[in-house]
């Protein structure tokens, strides 16, 4: 691909899956983190899961969900969506597009198959909870 078509490199933005306990039940949610020193605006997030059925070998693909956020301030986090543990066996992809001033950025954040699990979760200081983060 020609360099001028690639767009600017996305840095200091992350997507995290965080474990929470609500009324004794474990709940997992996906968050967008703005670790930048500037304001992200006009944010659009598309999420989808895909993989293979281990029993039949057939392809699996979830519905594509779309979310939008008007603004995300520096060092702010925003909840994107809950995620069910049934989807941890799939590759989970979050495509994030946003504007900073007059420049548009976009990046795919991918959680490979089985990369989201309680065993792989680490302490995430932004949440003061356990989770998995992709930068």
Range of the domain at 44: 3-112
For the chain, the distance separating the N- and C-terminal CA atoms, rounded to the nearest angstrom, is 23
pLDDT in tens for each of the 135 residues of the chain? Answer: 555 566 899 999 999 999 998 888 999 999 999 999 999 999 999 999 999 988 888 999 999 999 999 999 999 999 999 999 999 999 999 999 999 999 999 999 999 999 999 999 999 999 999 999 999
**Residue 78 counted as domain residue:** yes
**Residue 50 counted as domain residue:** yes
What is this structure's pTM? 0.93
Give the angle 116-15-35 at the CA atoms, nearest 5°.
Answer: 140
**Residue 134 counted as domain residue:** no
**Residue 43 counted as domain residue:** yes
**Residue 133 counted as domain residue:** no
**CA distances (Å), 26 to each of 85, 103, 107, 121, 134, in order?**
10, 39, 29, 13, 21
In the chain, how many domains are there? Answer: 1
Cα gap 27→77, rounded to integer Å: 18
CATH number at residue 97: 2.60.40
**Residue 97 counted as domain residue:** yes
């Amino acid at each position: 691909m020609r360099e001028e078509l690639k767009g600017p490199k996305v840095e200091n933005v992350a997507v995290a899956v965080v474990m929470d306990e609500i009324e004794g039940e474990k709940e997992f949610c996906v968050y967008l983190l703005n670790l930048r020193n500037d304001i992200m605006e006009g944010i659009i997030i598309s999420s989808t899961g895909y993989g293979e059925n281990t029993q039949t070998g057939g392809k699996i693909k979830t519905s594509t969900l779309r979310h939008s956020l008007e603004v995300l301030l520096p060092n702010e986090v925003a909840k994107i969506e809950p995620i069910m543990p049934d989807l941890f066996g799939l590759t989970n992809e979050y495509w994030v597009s946003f504007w900073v001033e007059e420049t548009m950025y976009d990046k795919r954040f991918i959680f490979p198959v089985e990369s989201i699990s309680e065993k792989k979760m680490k302490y995430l200081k932004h949440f003061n909870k356990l989770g998995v983060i992709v930068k």
